[in-house]
Amino acid sequence: MNYRSSVLGGSGTLSMTLPTGETFTGTYRLVPNDAKRQMTASLTGDRGSAMQCHFTLKEPGVGPDGGGSVQCQVSGGGGNFDANF
């Protein structure tokens, strides 16, 4: 997983490559002042699939820098996966 935060830090770009070799890119959005420490991302694959990811961050308002966990769903029978970062 690679990401780049926007200047204000509330959003940014994200990319991931799955073991199948498909690379997904898109944007993430941090929910400001969310006590549940949530972040979401919508990604598009280079082979036509889509991925929706829901993050739980270790530190609220920090974004991916502080680490956390993610649950992603891949369209087209690509399945679901969970990961820590």
Give me the pLDDT at residue 54, please.
94
84, pLDDT greater than 80: yes
Which tens digits make up the pLDDT trace of 17-66?
Answer: 999 899 999 999 887 677 778 889 999 999 999 999 999 988 877 778 88
Q: What letters, b where the CB count within 10 A reaches 16 and e where it falls short, cover 1-36?
A: eebebeeeeebbebebebeeebebbbebebbeeeee
pLDDT at 8 over 90: no
Tokens 């690509």 appear where? 78
Q: How far apart are alpha carbons 3 and 16 in whole angstroms? A: 9
**pLDDT at residue 63, as a whole number:** 77
